[in-house]
Structure 1
């Protein structure tokens, strides 16, 4: 008996993924719940476990191929069934027709690929079939798969674009000397990195983005941490960090300036009567933004625990789609890397993002005296289409006031 291995639900608004890595090959014995392959979406990496014990009979979707939700990835032969050959895009009864040289010529396969036999760099079968149906050649489609392999989505993209002669072409790369070229390495961007690049550029192109700055004396927060950190750890089992203070200060300010916690939907403004706080986290594969849901209703300990758990999951690549959906405002802490000042880019469709920076002692005038104080620059980037300058400045001042006198958070001032 054969059991299908299918693409699991990828999360809200995610309809496709790329097969990144197969951990097994056709003919391998697998155990139930053993990881078979890894799928890469534009937000997270998803591991696909084996639904049953047996033999990996057939791999349907190769590495680099784009698959939709519930698409067939492979087949598991339960028991001692013999593995079948890897499947082409057509049913087995159509295999001889699929491998005819004339069809390979029509899809633009080169003669050194071997009369219809597949190679690692051969275009995806679904892409070849679609190019045949639409009368496209390899020259009409730009491949985004491994080693320039043409995927089905590349063909769909080509069909939705004007003729190649009319399409704008990216500026060519500047010439590189042979000596330099031999020391370079070209690596295909992951789907996550491509999505980060696309979304950041869309934010710049779509939003009327401005940034306002202020600075905050972190002395009061540091004093509270030093006084209560041991007791806090003993009672709650988690360290008291800076991030919970910033989350609570932002929630406090968002109540007064709700525009910063809203988003534009067409000609409407959607105001959020809740705060789902996104906390930007750097990982080896790129920046991700897990969300602390209902942060405005949580205490310091609960926020610290949630941020700690999400940070570990982010570094281990275990974040789910649910962990990163629905954020209404974002905090980005460049200070952990030593940044003294920066202008964060909006996380669409949100209308505001707060940038934290390095705490540095600077000479400040306090009561007519020059003293050294632990200062941090704050930056609020906002969408001027919805947030006025007055609102943005007011928001940042309220954050500053709450951090310089945390008692205001307790008294809702």
Structure 2
């Protein structure tokens, strides 16, 4: 019986990819979920796992070939040959387990769409420790979320192959468990060190093949690989790496020198009191994306202020009834989400994005809500927020907020946003200019509510006021549209009845 291997879903708005590397050749035995090949899109690298155990009988799409979504990549013949890879480790497992039931590999779980690698953050167990089935062994950190890895079986952790701080690939091996009794631990420990040491040695000996499209672009632009920093697997140079190097040009070298200048004159006594900590993957991604947003978009910010009296009065009047009926507190965020959804219908370009030379208008609102966590800023998404009630919005925001702080957000919960709201007011910010969350074209910044004197009907009165800031991509949103959007948000908040009347 033969099984087809097809191109998986490549992500939003991505319809084709290039076959970058085949890790197997026809005739090779493969296990379930073992990586067969790597596809490269213009945005990400996608690894294709084997859907079944068997033998790779045919490769239909060779390296460098372009393929569409669901295109046929290869054929796998299911059968007895699949047992070969599984049987190969048995002698080593038998030595380690000493008859205790064999060994079980601890593998890197699926990390999410477009995520191919992670960093081992923390091991909760050490070699020789007994573990129960589903007990947490370690925690991995990707550039988006933290992933806990449970024990696949009860037994003894005989070896840790990926130490804390090491980078591992999706589907890679983290460690080995001896299923059964604790007697396996002392025997397995001497074997663990050579095995772990062998992994980096083999990686270093392997030649890294750059992505085909990257090689083509470097050849066209006269760029040598040593001038490009690869971000793909094992340092592989991707197409976007070449584009980034070309865009940076000589400016990157010039800015690098001043960055290092201040380090020279630091006195020894001061250096001894400094602490150098490696940036987490999440923080590196935040830094890169925010800088890319500044470099790519024609970003501009417009400001206004809103009198929060009406919203605060409405909230105070109904908050007890609201909580009693819906089981969640009525906050300010639901009013802002509703007001933004209302304004986005009138000014659709703020809810759109640029894709090459096209403008993609979204006939829906997936509202991103920026949440500060101990490890950095994340933006979970309220999908179809324009169709949600006040209660549904408050419940979803509360749920996503807890999951964000606990590092439990999935990739799906942070993808696909069309507009973002950031509330710096919870930290006391009175005024700021938020940075766009690419590829979105607009982000609304909320701020602290502060009593201020304003003129109403020729009289000076004290009102609870909030500054609003809308940062937008001027390539797609004109000043008139941005100002109108912010005015519509202001009008809806100062008179919430307008939301009911769709005015």
| Interval containing the TM-score (normalised by the shorter chain) | 0.7 to 0.9
Counterpart in 2 of 1:115? none
Counterpart in 2 of 1:28? 129
Q: What is the aligned-residue RMSD (CA, Å)?
A: 2.8
Counterpart in 1 of 2:159? 58
TM-score by length of 1: 0.83
CA 132–337 in structure 1, closer or farther in 2 if over 3 Å, else same: closer
Q: CA deviation at 1:173?
A: 4.2
1:214 equivalenced with 2:304 (yes/no): yes
Q: CA deviation at 1:17?
A: 0.9
1:44 equivalenced with 2:129 (yes/no): no
Counterpart in 2 of 1:359? 449
Comparing 374-383 with 17-26, which one deviates more in the overlay? 17-26
Counterpart in 2 of 1:86? 192
- Specify the SS of the correspondent of 1:47: strand
1:340 equivalenced with 2:430 (yes/no): yes
Q: Which has the higher contact order (CA 8 A, sep 6+)?
A: 1
Comparing 333-342 with 23-32, which one deviates more in the overlay? 23-32
1:245 equivalenced with 2:335 (yes/no): yes
Counterpart in 2 of 1:2? 103
- Specify the SS of the correspondent of 1:37: strand
Counterpart in 1 of 2:253? 168
Q: Is the 8 A contact 2:208 2:236 kept in 1?
A: no
1:181 equivalenced with 2:271 (yes/no): yes
Q: Is the 8 A contact 1:240 1:304 kept in 2?
A: yes
CA distance in 2, matches of 1:240, 1:125: 57
CA 63–152 in structure 1, closer or farther in 2 if over 3 Å, else same: farther
Counterpart in 2 of 1:383? 473
Q: CA deviation at 1:263?
A: 1.1
Matches for 1:126-141 after TM superposition, within 5 Å: 127-130=203-206
Q: CA deviation at 1:375?
A: 0.7
Q: CA deviation at 1:365?
A: 0.9
Matches for 1:306-321 after TM superposition, within 5 Å: 306-321=396-411
CA distance in 1, matches of 2:406, 2:399: 11
Q: Is the 8 A contact 2:209 2:236 kept in 1?
A: no
Deviations 1:125-170 (A, max 9, x none): 4553347999xxxxx99xx9xxxxxx99574469x789xxx99382
Deviations 1:223-274 (A, max 9, x none): 0011111111111111110000000000111111111111111122111111
CA distance in 2, matches of 1:49, 1:245: 40
Deviation beyond 3 Å, 4+ runs, structure 1: 87-90, 123-127, 130-134, 151-158, 166-169
Q: CA deviation at 1:69?
A: 1.5
- Specify the SS of the correspondent of 2:253: coil
CA distance in 1, matches of 2:128, 2:356: 52
Q: Is the 8 A contact 1:130 1:152 kept in 2?
A: no
User: Equivalent of 1:229, from 316, 319, 332?
Assistant: 319
1:75 equivalenced with 2:176 (yes/no): yes
Deviations 1:28-78 (A, max 9, x none): 211111111111111111111111111123322222222222122222221
Q: Aligned pairs, how many? A: 368
Matches for 1:259-408 after TM superposition, within 5 Å: 259-408=349-498
CA 358–152 in structure 1, closer or farther in 2 if over 3 Å, else same: closer
Deviations 1:318-357 (A, max 9, x none): 2221221111110000011111100000001111100000
Q: Which runs of 5+ in 1 are unaligned?
A: 99-122, 135-139, 145-150
Counterpart in 1 of 2:13? none
Q: Is the 8 A contact 2:208 2:234 kept in 1?
A: no
Q: Is the 8 A contact 1:66 1:153 kept in 2?
A: no
Q: CA deviation at 1:18?
A: 1.2
Q: CA deviation at 1:200?
A: 0.5
Deviations 1:197-239 (A, max 9, x none): 0000000001110001111110000000111111111111111
Counterpart in 2 of 1:190? 280
